[in-house]
Structure formats: C-alpha cells, structure tokens
Structure 1
Amino acid sequence: MDGMEKSRRSLSALGLPEWDLGELPDSDKRFPDGTRERVRRAAIGLSVLRRHYPEATASPGPMRA
C-alpha cells in the first residue's frame, strides 16, 4: 500500500472524503446579481488601496464598493 492509499484510508476512517474536493461539480447556485463567487476584503486604508488597485482592476470579476 502506497502513501496516498494510506492517506485515503486514514481520511475515510475519520469520516472525511477520500478525494480532492476540487473534483466536485460546480454548483448551479448564484448570487442575486448572477455571479457565482465573491471575494471579500476587509476595510483598508487609502495607501493600501492605492497599492492594490491596479491588481484588483486587472481581475476578471467586477469590483464593488
């Protein structure tokens, strides 16, 4: 039995999934505006906003205040 098989059996014994949860199918659920995912950022200061704004605006999703 290899290391991966041992890990899977250990997880199963604990009642946990034996596989990578990234393999699960996508959900059909959406937020009211139609988006599937949200990224929340804590309130930040102006200097931090100036530093990260270019990266945030390059992201594919919308940016909401």
Structure 2
Amino acid sequence: MLLVDHEIKIPSKVNPALKLRVLKGHFATIHSHINCYIDMTMLKTRQSEAEEVAKAMAADYQYNKPIDT
C-alpha cells in the first residue's frame, strides 16, 4: 500500500489553487509518534505553489498589520 493512498488534500480558504497535503498513517521517530503527516514540501519548493503561498500570506499583512519602523 502506497502512502499516496492515504493522502488527503485540503484546499486553502484564501486561494483554492493551494492545497495542503496530509498523509494519514503511523509515523514514528525517536522522539514522537504521529498519526498524520502534513507535507509542506510542495508548497515550499515548487515555484508556482511557493509564489501563490507568498501572495496569500502577504495579503494578510498588506493592510492589516502595523509596522514599527
């Protein structure tokens, strides 16, 4: 059974083109055991998706956040 069989894609509320991939299963390290793995690799490394993530994040700061200079 491949991990992709357990993949869930969660679309962004801000930009439906962005999807967060969640893999269900049992993942264990020396320090932790988890049931879901949030894969952010594509969002950070794929140029088109990384650009869309940056735009979505920047939109929140464009007018709503005071900047102390």
TM-score (norm 1): 0.20
Larger RCO of the pair (alpha carbons < 8 Å, separation 6+): 2
TM-score w.r.t. structure 2 length? Answer: 0.20
Name the larger-Rg structure. 1
Which structure: greater strand fraction?
2
